[in-house]
Structure 1
Amino acid sequence: MDLTANEGKNLTITVDGSEYQRIPIRTPLVLAGEKLVPFVVEHASPHVADGDTLFITEKIVAITQGRSYPLEEIRVRRLATVLAKYVQKTPHGIGLGMPETMEMALRECGTPRILLAAGVAAVSKAVGRKGDFYRIAGPKARGIDGPTSGTIPPYNHQVVLAPARPRDVAREVKAALGWKVEVAIVDINDLGGNILGSTLTRQADHRLARILADNPLGQGHQSTPMGVIRPVK
């Protein structure tokens, strides 16, 4: 197995006094219409061993579920254009700061919820508090990925939604692998992230999020949409 970290990332991390390897798995580009479970089994099986945790980025799960949309196919309402202007943009991703991603948030979460989130965020921002918009809008809004310059084509011109049924997907992958491994669907970026669904306990999910907190897979052209967490003995 290639024990090489992605450029600018560390292979190992220590959490609660235990050391873990986070080993990236390089794969071909995942395309809409592909079946996730066979894809994961083919490319992960040569790398996993009993006791490992396989973590899979939410983006390839969503793509194989048909939840990615070319920008030109998204009909944007005026409301989405107006709301997107007030979203703070960061170097780590567009978020809902473009009309197309905001439009998909309105569709996924419902217009009333997004308007409520925007109203509360406007008030809380005035008093110096951040994060209320996504807290109220919920994980579906937080999980929407917009195109960035670092995204691999053709997804640099698409909006990708959060995956559906991530916990069920994790269980399906675990059953198909045939190894004594755990599986997690994760949404991790350079600002941190979340475990969307896994075969682990809730407490183990919290530890897993800390193990992956520095985003060992990166979020550019690395072509490593999954990886292995392995305790260092």
Structure 2
Amino acid sequence: MGSFMVLLGWLLDILSLKGLSDAIFTRFATPSDPDYPVHRAVWGLLAAGEVEKAHALARGRWERSKSPRSGRDYIHVLLRKRDFSEAEKVAAELAERYPENAWLRVLYGDIVRFFSDPENPERALEIYRQADPLCTAMLPDHYPLSVLLKRVTRIYRERGDEDALLESMERFLSLKSTNFHHDEFILLAELHLKRGNRERAREVLETGCKAKVRDVHLREAWRKMGFGDPPPIPPRKKALPDLGGYEKVPVKTKLLTEADDPVETIKSYVEDSLKPGDVVAFSSCVAAIMEGRMLMEGTVPISLLARFTSRLIAGRHPVGAFTSSAPMANALSAQTALEEVGALRILVAIVAGGIGKAFRRDGWFYVVAGPQVAQIDDILGSLPPYDYYVMLGPKDPYLLSNRIARGLGDGVGAAIVDANDLGIAWAVGYSDRVDAKALETAMADNPAGNQDQMTPIVLVRALEGRAGLLTSPR
């Protein structure tokens, strides 16, 4: 009976009847079933608060298959249970079983670095060094090596090894990867300036200003290092809305991971700073991390349809230096979309996108594919240890927003926000009474920081003379 129901669930999944298929997987999947239905079942059990059932299912599947996907699912449950030592054992076994998989070696280093032994970076560094030849062999695909060097350079910086840091930073820069951020440009320029190599320092900053055309930090560093007037910031193609009348307070946090609870975490950071009428805006990407709504490179088999979709989109959106590709241009992103909304819906969305292109209309693919696909963030969109994962949005952002708001008490609101540096903010979910349009206007300048700033929480309040962010109770 169980096997028949899982097969039925898989058919419904292909037909994009995801609510039914996920319910069937969650109810009937067993460790003897394939990785995919077990994966969906583990997600469903965790969303329902059935952590022990999810643990038993994930462990059973891992013990049977020893596949990268089942191992990463089991690690996720172990991190939720804060069993970091067992998570390290599973990661180590994955790296040993699949010695040619660079991503699994990086995962092993990350579990040690960020969870099981964070006070001993040398252990993680040794594991990362073992991954270096694997990542280098994957060039010209620069993603694995850029992810690795992001970690290695930070460890060299922490221990003050400037020779190794300079060498690794130059290697990192040469990849022209989108995860080489303004702080890396500035650090590399400072290293050269400290050694008297002023011309190279200027070249590095000039490259940064061209790559990050709107970044004020690079231009401040340009002036501070005595290079005169920096390259100008070009005008925006689309002006930002009127942002006056709102106070926005980015809240610095620790590294938030899948081991943290979003409601309790947000409450611990903001409860002493809240005022009546405030809205707490929380990053959609970080909310997804905390729910485990992500897929890791090197663990998920890529279907033919996902490869076709990604190649189709990649051909329309070529990637430049220090820029990211279109989200669906990565095969794992396309696979993530398939798993989230089903093959039939993606096929219809591809057709709709083609029709839209014929009529010179953008965005029809995402209109048909739905908001969960529109929320997908590609790899390198987050900070370590999650910069080689494709991120979905939270499962139910409205429910999560209301849970956060209830945890904070009466008179305040909460929202899950997806914002970018193009002047676009999207309240993907919000608690009762939140004025979503007003909040999106206030957040249009993207004050949150999911990268090295680690400010995924923003307190937003309307100042005197500006309409409030909460509507009147009914």
Match of 2:403 among 165, 172, 175: 172
User: How far does residue 221 in structure 1 lie from its aligned partner after superposition?
Assistant: 2.3
**Superposed, which structure 2 residues align to 1:181-220 within 5 Å?**
181-191=412-422, 192-201=424-433, 204-218=435-449, 220=451
Q: 1-side partners of 2:418 and 2:325: how far apart?
A: 13
Q: Which amino acid aligns with 2:307?
A: T
Match of 1:134 among 332, 350, 366: 366
Match of 2:299 among 51, 62, 73: 73
Aligned to 1:163: 394
Q: 1:92 to 1:227 in 2, by over 3 A?
A: farther
Within the alignment, does 1:63 sit opposite 2:280 as a pair?
Answer: no
Query: Matched residue of 1:72: which SS?
Result: coil
Cα offsets for 1:81-127 (capped at 9, x unmatched):
11112224474664111000100101101111111111121122133
Structure 1: which 5+ residue stretches go unaligned?
A: 1-6
Higher helix share: 2
TM-score by length of 2: 0.44
Within the alignment, does 1:143 sit opposite 2:375 as a pair?
Answer: yes
Higher strand share: 1
Match of 2:256 among 25, 30, 33: 30
Q: Contact 1:27 / 1:223 at 8 angstroms: preserved in 2?
A: yes
How many residues align structurally?
220
Aligned to 2:275: 49
> Once structures 1 and 2 are overlaid, which stretch shifts more, 59-68 or 212-221?
212-221
Aligned residues: CA RMSD: 2.2
Q: 2-side partners of 1:92 and 1:195: how far apart?
A: 23
Q: 1:64 to 1:195 in 2, by over 3 A?
A: same
User: How far does residue 178 in structure 1 lie from its aligned partner after superposition?
Assistant: 2.6
Aligned to 1:96: 328
Q: 2-side partners of 1:38 and 1:56: how far apart?
A: 13
Q: Which amino acid aligns with 1:104?
A: T
Aligned to 1:230: 461
Structure 2: which 5+ residue stretches go unaligned?
A: 1-214, 218-240, 465-474
Q: 1-side partners of 2:288 and 2:367: how far apart?
A: 21
Q: 1-side partners of 2:439 and 2:280: how far apart?
A: 11
Q: 2-side partners of 1:100 and 1:193: how far apart?
A: 25
Q: Contact 2:402 / 2:432 at 8 angstroms: preserved in 1?
A: no
Whichever of the two has the greater Rg, that structure is 2
Aligned to 1:83: 309
Higher relative contact order (CA 8 A, sep 6+): 1
Q: Contact 1:96 / 1:102 at 8 angstroms: preserved in 2?
A: yes
Q: 2-side partners of 1:35 and 1:230: how far apart?
A: 24
